Amino acid sequence: MDKRFQIRFTIIFALCLFGAITSFAQADIRDSVPLNKQYKQQQFYDSLEFRAGKRKFTGWLYDLLISSPAPQLDEREIALDYFRSFEGMIIARIDYKRLDVFGPTLLDTSRTADKWIEKAANSIHSKSSLKTIRKQLLFKTGDILDPKLMAENERIIRQVPYLKDVRFLIKPDSLYPAFVNVLVLTKDRFSFGVSGGIGGTKTGELEFYDKNVLGIGHEISVRFVGKVDENPKMGIETFYRINNIGGRFINIDLGYLNTYLRKGYVFNLEKPFISNEIKWGYGAANARLFRTTRVTENHPIELDPPISESYNILWIGRNFDLESRNGFTCQLTPTLGMYNLNFFDVNEVSEGNEEFFANRTLYMAGLSFSQRKYVQDKLIYSYGIIEDIPAGFKQELMYGYDANEFGDRHFIQMFSSNGIILSRKGYLFVSAGANSYLKEGRFEEGLIRANMNFFTRLKSTGTKVVRSFIKLDYTIGIRRYPSEYLTLGTDNHIRGFNSENANGQQRLALNMEHVVFFPQEFYGFKMALFTFADLGVVGSGEHVIFKKDYYAGLGLGVRLHNENLVFDTFRLRLAFYPFHPKDMGFVGFIFDEQSKTHFTSLEPTAPQPAQFK
């Protein structure tokens, strides 16, 4: 097919779909007009809704096309206002109430489970122990109540995988007016989970996991992986994770692997900057992989034949608080780190890729300046629980010295990230940056990346609520090795696109999605219907990206999720791929699990090079 026709079709389709989505997402302007005009506008919408409701089809059409913004309540500000009324008082006592997984809610603790399966699940579930919950607290008896600290602590606990939600309830002491008692109200998730999948008739996997072993906050997983024409035909991967050791937010991971994909062991210890209160962050990791098809677990390139390698990581950083303004936390964070990678018995290396498998040690020094706060909303990536949206910015600069067996070289990286709350429109996140090694005055093995993520405010359409999402991502490599390339085959680019022929060292991807959240539940599972359009361009880095090969994915699907469970989201999706490569079909149908999408963090992190993927 003529490439010019492909380009015109893609652009026209993108503009039409973008117009359709933005018509759904268009911010309500009634907040900015005089009250008498607002009243007249409301009268018009009420009249239109009444007339449309006389017939089933026009009523459905009204619900679909005419939407008004749902009330947007910043629950963090509500929480801060609540805590501010007790600011400066002394915490005399801390009590705990742990709710069953099924039945009660934080707003109605008296509710009970009514289905036999929910009652059975409650009976076999081990609630988080008091010691486990106590370790999550940033305050103790005798402290002066700090409203910001209390709100921050609730946010941190909501990130714990085995807890669904938390609420701190304050009650003045009946005898001493300067004292208060704090009730820590928590609700667990059912911690057991099962996952798996089958790839045709030759491969399959099955995983069992527990996110809260015996209620002590530890995690364990056992994954069986098989492939009939590989050795071993059936293998195992098992991991054990200890969370928040001693209440210091230190985590340890241990893993043993022996499948056809990889064999070896991994160890990781880390204290991340998950809270404004954490001053020192650090980490250490070690892995010895006797056989692996990827240099790192999330490396995009699969190696054939497998290789043998080891890597070691060390890092440390210190937060320095600066003057906070308008509710933002401002911090300057210097970091130091070391990344060591060694390869063993690398025999079959294609020409031009020899230095890709170089034994090396990268010494890094980073500096970041961040200003951030969090705003709360619901029904973004979750299904009814509070979600903490980061707002602010982070500027990062990193220098490294690479002691490399093929010749030492310098490394530099710069990235800027900004999260912007658009009160009447939604949320916008933008990020841009670049990195590269410098050897003998020549840049090599670098990248330039820019991305944008936008989602609208929640909209009401009849009994349902909707959001629209738009993502834009651009990446180009700078003198990368021949074995390194970009593809379109992830959910961040073209969903379900599994072609290996469409690749290159330059990529532009646009994702548009419209999601309808339904209020009804099916055995506790919430449902969301989504439609999407993904556009991608990929090719070499030698020319302008718009002259490369265009691809697209169009489709719809449904997601099912139960926030009381640690399971991933179940997803059923149908997609169509115009201009598809020869190694994939026009139609794709898939039922799988989708991991929860997380907001891009504006917190300081370990110094590490951005990956080319």
What pLDDT score does 23 carry? 40
d(CA 298, CA 216) in angstroms, rounded, equals 29
In the chain, where the domains are located: 81-188, 261-594
What pLDDT score does 305 carry? 77
Q: What is the pTM of this model?
A: 0.82
598 — pLDDT class (breaks 50, 70, 90): confident
d(CA 48, CA 11) in angstroms, rounded, equals 34
Task: State the SS3 of 183-249.
Answer: EEEEEECECEEEEEEEECCCEEEEEEEEEEECCCCEEEEEEEEEECCCCCCEEEEEEEEECCHHHCC
490: helix, coil or strand? coil
Q: 532 with 555: CB under 8 angstroms?
A: yes
What pLDDT score does 24 carry? 38
d(CA 504, CA 207) in angstroms, rounded, equals 34
Half-sphere exposure of 268 (CA within 13 A, CB side): 13
What pLDDT score does 541 carry? 78
What pLDDT score does 297 carry? 67
CATH code for the part of the protein at 81-188:
3.10.20.310
What pLDDT score does 574 carry? 93
d(CA 203, CA 228) in angstroms, rounded, equals 7
> Sign of dihedral through CA atoms 13, 15, 21, 24?
negative
72 — pLDDT class (breaks 50, 70, 90): low
602: helix, coil or strand? coil
For residue 581, cis peptide bond before it (omega within 30 degrees of 0) = no
Residue of 43 and 444 predicted with greater confidence: 444
pLDDT at 513 over 90: yes
**Region 516-529 average pLDDT:** 87
Residue of 328 and 366 predicted with greater confidence: 366
547 — pLDDT class (breaks 50, 70, 90): confident
Q: What percent of the chain has pLDDT over 90?
A: 54
| CA-to-CA dists, residue 298 to 52, 222, 292, 294, 545, angstroms | 51, 19, 12, 8, 26
Burial class of residue 30, CB neighbours in 10 A (0-12, 13-18, 19+): middle
**Region 52-67 average pLDDT:** 55
Alpha helices in 92-201, H assignment, sequence order: 116-124, 130-134, 147-158
pLDDT tens-digit map of 260-294: 989 999 999 999 999 888 999 999 999 999 988 87
**Region 152-156 average pLDDT:** 92
pLDDT tens-digit map of 463-505: 788 999 999 999 999 999 887 888 888 777 898 888 888 888 9
Between the ranges 303-317, 345-359, 588-602, where is the mean pLDDT highest? 303-317
Is 2.40.160 the CATH number for 261-594?
Answer: yes
pLDDT tens-digit map of 220-271: 999 999 988 888 889 999 999 999 999 999 999 999 999 998 999 999 999 9
Residue 332 tokens read as 């300057």
pLDDT tens-digit map of 137-149: 999 999 999 999 9
What pLDDT score does 443 carry? 94
Beta strands in 483-597 (DSSP E): 486-487, 503-504, 506-522, 525-539, 549-561, 569-576, 587-594
Q: Give the mean pLDDT of the chain.
A: 85
pLDDT tens-digit map of 372-401: 999 888 889 988 888 999 999 999 999 999
Residue 518 tokens read as 């339904």
Half-sphere exposure of 365 (CA within 13 A, CB side): 3
d(CA 404, CA 354) in angstroms, rounded, equals 12
DSSP class per residue in 348-373: ---TT-GGGG--EEEEEEEEEEEEEE
Q: What percent of the chain has pLDDT over 70?
A: 85
pLDDT tens-digit map of 554-571: 999 999 999 999 988 899
What pLDDT score does 37 carry? 45
What pLDDT score does 17 carry? 44
Pick from 412, 408, 415, 409: nearest CA to 430: 415
pLDDT at 299 over 70: no
Q: 331 with 356: CB under 8 angstroms?
A: no
What pLDDT score does 14 carry? 46
What pLDDT score does 1 carry? 45
